[in-house]
Amino acid sequence: MSEEFLLLNPGPVPVTDRVRRAMDEPMISHRSAEFEAIYERAQDALEYVFRESTLDGRVTNDDGMALILNGTATMGMEAAVANLADDDSEVVALVNGKFGRRFARIADRHAQCTRVGVQWGESFDLGVVANTITDETDLVTMVHNETSTGLLNPVAGVGAIAAEHDARFIVDGVTSIGGDVFCIDDWHVDIAITDAQKALAAPPGTSAMYVTGDVESAIGGDDAPFYEDLDWHLRKAESNQTPFTSAVPLFRALAVAAEAIVDEGLPDRIRRHRRQSTAFRAGFTGMGLERFPTAADATVYSNTLTAVELPEVVRADPDAFFDAVAERNVSISGGQAHLGGEIFRVSNMGQFADEQILRGIRTVGEAMVDAGADVDPEAGLDAARGVLELQRR
């Protein structure tokens, strides 16, 4: 009998039965008190996530607010840029992967954008960043955890540079917030964005952002996009509402998923993500594969997803490998854009049991062998088990 379906893509990630059931409740009006109670639960839990994603209990003290958007994180990214920039604004966008590039493309449409770009999968040189951000810079955008390559970028370092020049700082924490450390005040972040279907482990369709108290006065106005007018969203969020019709079942699911994070506690959740991503990396390198990204200086490997190079023999026919994974009832991701056919990616965001992480490693190893690669799945499993055993809580 084939094993249960295992979703290891870096979003959407599996949701718990409780989250799934929340979507199946009778419909209510989005202008009802019941809906407002759901919004408030989600918002309270998200404010915990945005403010307390630390290992040592440190809390961001800020009088800003978390709000929920009827749209995925790309909407949040655009909302943040379009509310803080106009045609004459100077934006510096850091690009070392697909989502950093997305911020730059958004900035191109709304402002004057200068890119600090390195090869996808390479680390930023903070010296170059410091030479590019100037007193003329109005806004800096960057992705914390670059999902397309598996690198955790140095938000703290870039935030310090942005702050020196009084530039606003927008950070995409889509695949870090809820699974890794994130410090809004220490890192000088003005707007942080995350997506429901990543480390929050909710279904896709909504996203959340934290707008700091300091930046609230700078957003909105007649030039703000209508649907994404963040001033309007904030005013509504104050009374647990949205300006437009809310995706009621998705908000319900988000509330349940975010409350599960509160119940687990962020320090434990972050440690769990770090432990399981370390196991993934050990498992893949232990069987003889190479990590894709290059972590240098202040950049480190992602704690929520892992990107691995396809060996030469598999690159000749990547479908044979991905089909062999799918035959084992496991879903993983390939590379995006020009990295298609060069890498694969797996996620440990959400609520995985250690057995599922090991099954992911075994599946990749067996599929590699099927596709003709010279790897040792058992050695990979031993290495991963060693990590999980050593770091057992």
Ligand X SMILES: Cc1ncc(COP(=O)(O)O)c(C=O)c1O
Residues that bind ligand X (CB under 6 A): 11, 72-74, 99, 143, 147, 172, 174-175, 195
At closest approach, how far in Å is the CB of 216 from ligand X? Answer: 23
Residue closer to ligand X, measured from CB, 352 or 365: 352
- Residue 102 has phi, psi (to 5 degrees) of -60, -40
CA atoms within 13 A on the CB side of 360: 29
- How far CA 203 is from CA of 198, 217, 285, 301, 335, in Å, comes to 9, 32, 31, 26, 22
Residue closer to ligand X, measured from CB, 147 or 303: 147
Residue closer to ligand X, measured from CB, 83 or 175: 175
At closest approach, how far in Å is the CB of 224 from ligand X? Answer: 20
Residue closer to ligand X, measured from CB, 209 or 215: 209
* Cα diameter, the chain: 63
Residue burial 212-241, b: 16+ Cβ < 10 Å; e: rest: beebbeebbeeebeeebbbbbbbebbeebb
At closest approach, how far in Å is the CB of 52 from ligand X? Answer: 21
Distance (Å, rounded) from C-alpha 376 to C-alpha 78?
44
Sheet holding 207-211, edge to edge: 65-69, 207-211, 191-195, 168-172, 139-143, 90-95, 112-117
At closest approach, how far in Å is the CB of 348 from ligand X? Answer: 14
DSSP result, 366-391:
HHHHHTT----HHHHHHHHHHHHHHT
Residue closer to ligand X, measured from CB, 122 or 370: 122
Residue closer to ligand X, measured from CB, 138 or 172: 172
At closest approach, how far in Å is the CB of 235 from ligand X? Answer: 24
The answer to whether the CB of 342 falls within 8 A of the CB of 310 is yes
Give the rounded distance of the alpha carbon of 3 from its chain centre: 28
At closest approach, how far in Å is the CB of 73 from ligand X? Answer: 4
The answer to whether the CB of 194 falls within 8 A of the CB of 47 is no
Distance (Å, rounded) from C-alpha 148 to C-alpha 365?
21
Residue closer to ligand X, measured from CB, 159 or 173: 173
Q: Which amino acid is at 381?
A: L
Residue closer to ligand X, measured from CB, 60 or 333: 333
Give ∠ CA 283-287-288 in degrees, rounded to 5: 120
At closest approach, how far in Å is the CB of 313 from ligand X? Answer: 29
At closest approach, how far in Å is the CB of 179 from ligand X? Answer: 12
Residues 6+ apart with CB under 8 A from 315: 341, 342
